Amino acid sequence: MSPSGEFRKTDNGYRCSCIDRENDGITGDDSGGSDDFPCIHCKDSNRFDLSYSCCSSGSKSDDSEKLRRIIVAFAKGLSIGTGIKGGLAIFNIVSRFARRRSSSQSRKIGEFSNSEAIAMGIKETLRYGLFLGTFAGSFVSVDEAICALAGHQRTAKWRALFAGLVAGPSMLLTGPNTQHTSLAVYIFMRAAVLASRCGIKSKRFGSICKPLTWKHGDLFLMCLSSSQILSAYILKQESLPSSYKSFLNKQGGKDLSILQGVKDIASAKPFTNLGAIEIYYKSIGVDIKLDPNMKFPCSIIHGKDSCIKHGITFFFQAYMRALPVYVPVYLIPALIVHRQDLLKKQYSILGKGLLGTARSSLFLSTYCSSAWAWTCLLFRTFQTCNIPLVAIATFPTGLALAIEKKSRRIEISLYCLARAIESFFTCMTDAGYIRPPKSLRRADVVVFSVSTAIIMHCYAQEREVFRSKYLNVLDWVFGVPPPPPCETT
């Protein structure tokens, strides 16, 4: 039976014509997605199967095509992993060299030499590349093997779910003793979002999942995450992942001695380093004498400047710090997603990239500067500083996310929520309120595997719940093959 939809050949394989008519929205939300699809794969069963070997003749050419798909998936996963992790490693190394220009910072970050930091960056880059490459190759291998052994149509509903579950433990390649709680929680959040979108479409679960379509839910999640993350940034940095802690220390724009001073006064403890804070300010040309009996730490945070002047100057400094962060964020996806149009529409793509970089940098600089502005405002209003007030003051900081493009807000809020959850449970565990299970040493791998199983199942069976740009990336990596011959003749 011939499907009513048409398939066209692209560099990513064969694509159903309905996919080309997708916009950047999500079915079921306010982004303008649609449930009306023109082809049998989408209209009748919402299916777009990943493999086609069941209808093939089993010839050597078919086997070589399967092997090629596995190798290509591994290579592309490897390239994405090394590209992303390598870019972050380069950024961290460059930031390290910049910080080492001052002798005081050199002593604080001198746990590793420059050569050791570079070697560690290369090692981590290769590990993450191998991890993503193995994940992609394993998924395609299991998918093809099940299809060949048990049949295409009979396994269509569960094959991708099982393949994603089997490929999940590839995370162990990043290091057998390296915990990736933040990554696992983030992927779990992504899986939960996709599952909720499927639930919204469902007649059985649609009413239950309706609250998940709240228009400004992303801003609320960001505010909630900010309260935990920024409180931990000031009060308990050891609860944050080391790389994320370094990012916050860079973008937060404050010396560690200043953070320690704020922590002391918020915790109602005697000051331990007022002399170090005064020495720091003297090193940047500000001669100040701090009062050990102060009630709120505004003079610690911004020296002799007023709160308003500090907020303005800090904003412009934060914007310059944010620009290098977002250049690779927009450059790398442009090279992957829009690679076919780079030569034809280079100016349009470049313009959108520059606009996106400027907009995201505005978000991050507003986020960081408003964090200090809100804390100063509440400290001065209540003439005191304590831990609950720090948590309250950092909550509205998340409203800065409204500057970002709508399609990016949920991504950023989920990313921050994953780190906030990890930090929260770390704080609760250290305080003795939670006891970690001794029998499950790698819960992160279990959570990641279950999450990738859900994501890959949605990718194979419920493709319309993805945004088109993510489908483009997934199709590029996993190489969606043409439809089975028995369905096109």
CA atoms of 228 and 398, how far apart (whole Å): 11
Weakest mean pLDDT among 26-40, 109-123, 294-308: 26-40
CA atoms of 460 and 478, how far apart (whole Å): 11
Reference 232, options 258, 263, 256; nearest CA is: 263
- Give the mean pLDDT of 353-380: 92
CA atoms of 241 and 426, how far apart (whole Å): 10
- Give the mean pLDDT of 395-400: 95
DSSP, res 450: H
Q: Tell me, what's the pLDDT at 112?
A: 57
User: What torsion, rounded to 10 degrees, do the Cα atoms 7, 11, 12, 16 define?
Assistant: -10
User: What torsion, rounded to 10 degrees, do the Cα atoms 296, 298, 299, 300 define?
Assistant: 90
Residue 481: how many other CB atoms lie within 10 Å: 18
Q: Tell me, what's the pLDDT at 260?
A: 92
pLDDT tens track for 274-292: 999 999 999 988 888 898 8
On whether the pTM is more than 0.85, the answer is: no
| Residue 289 contacts residue 278 (beta carbons within 8 Å) | yes
Burial 395-424 (b: 16+ CB within 10 A, else e): bbbbbbbebbeeebbbbbbbbbbbbbbbbb
CA atoms of 83 and 34, how far apart (whole Å): 34
Weakest mean pLDDT among 190-194, 197-201, 301-305, 352-356: 197-201
Enclosing H/E stretch for 7 = strand 7-10
Percent of the chain at pLDDT above 70? Answer: 75
Enclosing H/E stretch for 10 = strand 7-10
The 3 state secondary structure assigned to 367-404 is HHHHHHHHHHHHHHHHCCCCHHHHHHHHCHHHHHHHHC
| Residue 77 contacts residue 133 (beta carbons within 8 Å) | yes
Confidence of residue 326 (pLDDT cuts 50, 70, 90): confident
What CA–CA distances, in Å, run from 151 to 50, 148, 303, 486? 13, 6, 71, 13
CA atoms of 269 and 261, how far apart (whole Å): 10
| Residue 465 contacts residue 27 (beta carbons within 8 Å) | yes
Average model confidence (pLDDT) for the chain? 78
Q: Is 282 helix (H, G, I), strand (E, B) or coil?
A: helix
- With both helix axes pointing from N to C terminus, report the angle between 242-252 and 307-337 in degrees, rounded to the nearest 10: 130
Confidence of residue 174 (pLDDT cuts 50, 70, 90): confident
- Give the mean pLDDT of 17-36: 39
For the chain, the residue count is: 489
